[in-house]
């Protein structure tokens, strides 16, 4: 599956613009992390792009989230590394999803929620722009647990233990990656 095919698959199942933007943000961060770790940017990016492709379809029955997109990817014969990363992003949320193991799998798991926190920080800047956000400003909001309270910080924090990267640096890479596609994110 190339990037174009991944984008078509996503768009055939997802219409909500905010959800599409979430997928684009996760794709961008996965590419940034792949670069950081010297891994394959294209396959990491595709995993990020399609990870929630079934989200809209399964929103009334979240127990089918992840397993549905995994079955689509299997049908298409997608690289197992991509499938595993997508599968493991449901760990602890969806029954049957395995715990992430590889760097790629942990990267997706840890950055998923972080993209939402970064968007939330941008939206409270006066200009609502990602360019006005810094890693420091995200860290300040990180400590305010009432801010974007739905963002599970413990999931993001696992980057330190599982990826060996400091939280501030993880946020920095994610922010830079999202700033790179800020137009596509409408921020």
C-beta closer to Fe ion: residue 39 or 52: 52
Minimum Å distance from CB 49 to Fe ion? 11
Q: How far is the CB of 135 from Fe ion (least distance, A)?
A: 21
Question: Smaller CB distance to Fe ion: residue 39 or 112?
Answer: 112
List of residues contacting Fe ion (CB under 5 A): 52, 112
**What are the residues whose beta carbons fall under 8 Å from the beta carbon of 26, sequence distance 6 or more?**
48, 49, 51, 52, 108, 111, 112, 115
Q: Under a CB-based contact definition with an 8 Å cutoff, are residues 75 and 5 in contact?
A: no
The C-alpha atoms of residue 123 and residue 37 are separated, in whole angstroms, by 30
Closest CB to Fe ion among residues 87, 142: 87
Q: What contacts 46, CB < 8 A, 6 or more positions away?
A: 1, 2, 3, 6, 27, 78, 82
Is the Cβ of residue 62 or residue 134 nearer to Fe ion in the bound state? Answer: 62
Half-sphere exposure (Cβ direction) of 66: Cα atoms closer than 13 Å: 18
- Tell me the closest approach of the beta carbon of residue 126 to Fe ion, in angstroms: 28
CB of 8 to Fe ion, least distance (A): 19
Report how many helices (DSSP H) and strands (DSSP E) the chain contains, helices first.
Answer: 10, 0
């Amino acid at each position: 599956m190339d990037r174009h095919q991944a984008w078509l698959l996503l768009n055939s199942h997802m219409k909500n613009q905010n959800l599409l933007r979430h997928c684009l943000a996760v794709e961008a961060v996965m590419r940034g992390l792949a670069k950081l770790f010297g891994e394959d940017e294209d396959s990491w990016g595709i995993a990020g792009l399609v990870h929630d492709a079934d989200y809209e379809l399964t929103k009334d029955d979240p127990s089918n989230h992840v397993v549905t997109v995994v079955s689509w990817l299997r049908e298409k014969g997608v690289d197992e590394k991509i499938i595993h990363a997508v599968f493991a992003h449901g760990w602890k949320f969806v029954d049957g999803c395995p715990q992430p193991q590889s760097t790629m799998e942990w990267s997706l798991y840890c950055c998923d929620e972080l993209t939402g926190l970064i968007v939330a920080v941008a939206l409270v800047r006066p200009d609502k722009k990602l360019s006005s956000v810094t890693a420091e400003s995200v860290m300040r909001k990180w400590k305010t647990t009432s801010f974007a309270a739905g963002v599970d910080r413990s999931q993001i924090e696992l980057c330190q233990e599982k990826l060996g990267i400091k939280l501030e640096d993880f946020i920095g890479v994610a922010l830079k990656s999202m700033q790179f596609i800020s137009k596509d994110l409408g921020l």
